[in-house]
Amino acid sequence: MSPSQTHEDVGSVREFFNRWEVYKKAVDLNFTHHREAMAAVAGWLDVRGRVGAFLDLGCGDAAFTSKMLSVRATDSYTGVDCSPVALGLAEANLSGCAFPGRFVCGDFAEEVVRFGETFDTIFIGLSLHHLPAGDKAGFFRHAFARLSAGGALVIFEPALKAGEPLESFLDRCEEHAETDPCGLTAAERSALVGHIRSCDFPESPAGYGAMAIDAGFREVRILYTDPEELFVVMACGV
CA distances from 189 to 8, 26, 31, 173, 183 (A): 20, 9, 10, 11, 9
pTM of the model: 0.90
Backbone angles phi, psi at 105, to 5 degrees: -90, 115
Q: What does DSSP say about strands 52-57 and 74-81: parallel, antiparallel, or unpaired?
A: parallel
Cα–Cα distance measured from residue 128 to residue 58, given in angstroms and rounded to the nearest whole number? 8
Burial (CB < 10 A; 0-12, 13-18, 19+), residue 52, is: middle
Q: Span 3-59+107-153+163-237: which CATH code? A: 3.40.50.150
For residues 130 and 136, the answer to whether their CB atoms sit within 8 Å is no
Domain ranges of the chain: 3-59+107-153+163-237
Residue 1, helix vs strand vs coil: coil
CA angle 203, 32, 8 (to 5 degrees): 50
Over its length of 238 residues, how does the chain's per-residue pLDDT go in tens digits?
333 334 445 665 556 555 667 878 888 889 889 999 999 999 999 999 999 999 999 999 999 999 999 999 999 999 999 888 889 999 999 999 999 999 999 999 999 999 999 999 999 999 999 999 999 999 999 999 999 999 999 999 999 999 999 999 999 999 998 888 788 888 888 888 888 999 899 999 999 999 999 999 999 999 999 999 999 999 999 9
What Å distances lie between residue 176 and 86, 180, 198, 199, 231, CA to CA? 26, 6, 17, 17, 12
Radius of gyration of the chain (CA): 17
Length of the chain: 238
Q: How far separated are the first and last CA of the chain, in Å rounded?
A: 32
